[in-house]
Amino acid sequence: MMLENKVAIVTGGARGIGLEIGHQLAEAGAAVVLADVNADHVTEAADRLRDAGYEAIAVTTDVSDEAQVLAMCQQTLEWGGRIDILVNNAGICPMTPVEEITPGEWDLVLGVNLKGMFLCSKAVIPTMRAQGTGKIVNIASSAGQMGGLAVGVHYSTSKAGTLGLTKSLARILAPDIQVNAVAPGTTESKMTSGWGQNTIEGLVKQIPAGRLGHPADVAAAVLFLASDRATYITGQTLSVNGGLLMV
């Protein structure tokens, strides 16, 4: 299998895109650590993977807290003996209008979405360097590439920062560790399910593929970048947006 004998961490792995990423990595042979701030949901998610016959554990982690991130990595090493793949998927997306965003909310979003990626990446680097190999895949967003209208400006800013973090880490950590990003367009989720039919139809009209993305679309891109098929790809952002024009 593509990821046999690999150990992967997926943050924000309790549901949605994160859980689908964990499932596809496990299906490809990886032992998967699902990390999430929601203890009940992430425990249930890991149970579902194990019930399907995969190797998986849950680790409750707030990625904006360095002590918890270091503990997550230590627990992964104690369980799996190595860390081959890190998928930085954890994120929050408040829809607060720009005039109503408080400094506290700004710090919260940037703390989870961007600082969390940095802390998790920093924590796995020593292990990956010692192994002489590793993959880091950051989940960005089309909102970070061209700005977002529906999402908050703090979310778009954090995802633009993700692109810069990806490029910088890729240059610093080459050649042993490849660092790339996946930038989804609007993807079906619990959030989009409440947007209403008119909103969804308006969005779909802008997408050449004629539909919203599915979590499986994003996970497939992550799987490719996390595999040995992408060892000569680093510092890149793979857009998974159905052909949405970047302006």
Give pLDDT tens digits for 132-154: 999 999 999 998 998 886 788 99
9: helix, strand or coil = strand
Q: What is the pLDDT of residues 181-204, one digit of tens each?
A: 999 998 988 767 767 788 788 888
CA angle 198–109–123, rounded 5-degree value: 125
Q: For residue 210, name the pLDDT band (cuts at 50, 70, 90).
A: very high
Give the pLDDT confidence score for residue 191 in this predicted structure: 67
Average pLDDT over residues 10-21: 98
DSSP string, 127-166: HHHHHT-EEEEEE--HHHHH--SSS-HHHHHHHHHHHHHH
Q: Are 180 and 188 in contact (CB under 8 A)?
A: no
Burial code (b: 16+ CB inside 10 Å, e: under 16) for 1-30 equals: ebbeebbbbbbbbbbbbbbbbbbbbbbbeb
Is the pLDDT confidence value at 15 over 90?
yes
Q: Tell which residue, 90, 176, 203, has the closest CA to residue 138.
A: 90
What amino acid positions are annotated as catalytic residues?
A: 155
7-239, CATH topology level: Rossmann fold (3.40.50)
- pTM of the full predicted structure? 0.96
How high does pLDDT run on average in the chain?
95
Q: At 110, which helix (H) or strand (E)?
A: helix 103-110
DSSP code for 91: -
134-139 and 85-88: which strand pairing? parallel
